[in-house]
Chains A and B, each alone.
Chain A
Amino acid sequence: MNTNTESSDKTNGLENPLITDEIISQARAAFMAAREIKDHQTLFVGIGLPCLVAHLSQSVLSPNCHLVFESGLIEVACETQPLSTASANIAKTAKMHGSMLDVFSMLQRGEIDVGLLSAAQIDIHGHLNSSRLITKSGKTLSLPGSGGAHDITVLANKVIAVMPSDPRRFVNNVDFITSPNSPYGNREGVVGVAMPDAYFSFDTGRPILQKIYSDRNADAINESLNWDSQISDSLEIVNPPEGDLLERAGIFLKTS
């Protein structure tokens, strides 16, 4: 097992009562995704974990990235957590108030480099579900639905999913294909999924555990999820976010 020997109360944030386990978990998933963003890219940002990815990208890792939200807000500074894609906090930091048609048109024209999405489930084909779940007893549990998720998945040049580490979210076949991994034209579709322990790529069309945090064991993480995934021959070890990154995540998540 890879152990982060440098870990201390200070670096993992335990010294700061604001940095809860939940914040650390979200920061780890978001950081794993934010590492995949290249500076100057244009990102279409979903609500929830994707906003933290956008915040860490913009404030630390890719300071020149451009953020677009489905409500029509363009060139947003994502400094505090928005509860919806039209929230006042991001409307106030947007340099352009466009319409929904403006931003979905950007997607369709191929101007969005990366779509950042979360979902209730992701499967080994890279399909995403945000519509309904079938419980073990066969009961259907309704969810709010696609919103722009289907459109982003089909139309963005790349999609990175970011999910909490709940094993039930990683399945061989989603209960409902809201957002099919069938990208338009020569776009790449869902290229990977970040979660608090690791990053899986879909380079081969199936999930490959490509990157893992140094304090996690690849075999254990690979086994823990409910889907059939493999471990890459060229597994990359990543140091988990600490110090300033955790502080930023903590402040961001507390200010909604």
Chain B
Amino acid sequence: MIDKVMTAQQAVKKYIHNSDTVFIGGFGHAIAFAIAHEIVRQKKHSLHLVKTGADIVFDLLVAGGCANRLSCGWYGNPGIGMSNIISKAVASGELALTESTNFSMMLRLHAGKLGVPFIPSPILADGDLAGSVDGIKTIKCPFTQAQYQAHSALNPDVAIIHAQRSDMNGNVQLWGSVGDTIEGCEASQKIICSVEEICESEEILLSPHLTKLPAHKVVAVIKQPFGAYPSYVHDYYQRDERYYAEHTSNTKDSLKSDEWLQTSVFDHDDFECYLNSLPGTLLDQLAWSKS
């Protein structure tokens, strides 16, 4: 039994290297904000980020200068608007963006998970996205001779995710809306996971059906309550709706984005300090409600 518990600072330093391909876990739910903050704080660079729908945590990584490539099916602030930061980075040539579709990204990660070179699908055969995506080629079905698109496997170097709990060995339990997280993690070479709680292995044995990631791929377990803030964690806390609502105007130009990055990341030694800087009762107000 190996104790994989460490701080985000140690995990990012040890397991995330410049130029790595990184899958960011959490689709609307349980987004790995705490680990992303640490990547920015350590000024990692030249990362290739992969994702289905890229939420505002990608703004953090792009504004922080950590990424030079993004492959995704969508990017922005869900239900609210565009990502000013990503649009600007793409326009200036700082960030190479490959836009595809959410299902295509899912298929590519699934091919990576299965350990096969590609998965065929009829999507991306037509329209203006067809032909523009690296890693997709037309093939003929060997049985029917019909044409399909081969969606090539993606195997990121590392996945960063947040989950409800884990034991110290990295038997990670995740529930609620899992989105693309499981595929992304299983496709990756290794997994860094922050959790709300670290529990005893005996407790994991009481609910092994909730364990969604195998310990042998998990290299680091970070205890970080509210580590997905401002997104939500099922059964733990609600999303900070106000944060998301104000995010687009808080990042509307370079001046505002720099200020946002400074006050959320660089002003603090770690994510815990950042949480402590939030208005007193805010986190209490986000307490999970069943209805």
Contact = CB atoms under 8 A, between A and B. Distances in A.
Interface of A: 47-48, 70-73, 82-88, 91-92, 94, 97-101, 104, 107-108, 127, 131, 142-151, 154-155, 176-180, 182, 184-185, 256
B176 A144 contact: no
Nearest to A85: B28
B129 interface: yes
A182 B123 CA distance: 10
A178 B123 contact: no
B102 A92 contact: no
B27 interface: yes
B217 interface: no
B76 interface: yes
B179 A99 contact: yes
Nearest to B78: A84
Contacts of A108: 103, 121-122
Looking at A92, A131, A151, the one whose CB has the most chain B CB atoms below 10 A away is A151
B34 interface: no
Interface stretch (B41-49, B232-240, B258-266): B232-240
B75 A155 contact: no
Minimum-distance CB pairs A-B, first 9: A86-B28, A83-B79, A84-B78, A180-B127, A144-B76, A151-B103, A147-B74, A180-B126, A182-B126
Contacts of B283: none
A131 B27 contact: no
Contacts of A91: 29, 176-177, 234
A36 to B, nearest CB: 24
B180 A92 contact: no
B182 A99 contact: yes
A102 to B, nearest CB: 9
Contacts of B125: 154, 182
19 contacts: A71-B27, A71-B179, A72-B179, A87-B28, A91-B176, A99-B179, A100-B52, A100-B180, A144-B83, A145-B99, A146-B101, A146-B102, A146-B129, A150-B124, A151-B102, A154-B122, A154-B123, A176-B128, A182-B125
B96 interface: no
A144 B29 CA distance: 19
Interface residues of B, number: 52
B239 to A, nearest CB: 6
Nearest to B84: A142
A127 B74 contact: no
B6 interface: no
B204 interface: no
A83 B53 CA distance: 14
Give the most central of A47, A83, A142, A148: most B CB within 10 Å: A142
A107 B103 contact: yes
Given A88-B239, A180-B126, A143 B178 contact: no
A71 B126 CA distance: 24
Interface in B150-200: 175-183
Given A100-B27, A100-B180, A182-B126, A144 B103 contact: no
B276 interface: no
B291 interface: yes
Contact of A147 (B82, B101, B178): B101
Contacts of A184: 122-123
B75 A144 contact: yes
A148 B52 CA distance: 9
A178 B129 contact: yes
A82 B80 CA distance: 11
Contacts of B52: 100, 147
B274 interface: no
A98 B175 CA distance: 10
Contacts of B78: 47, 83-85
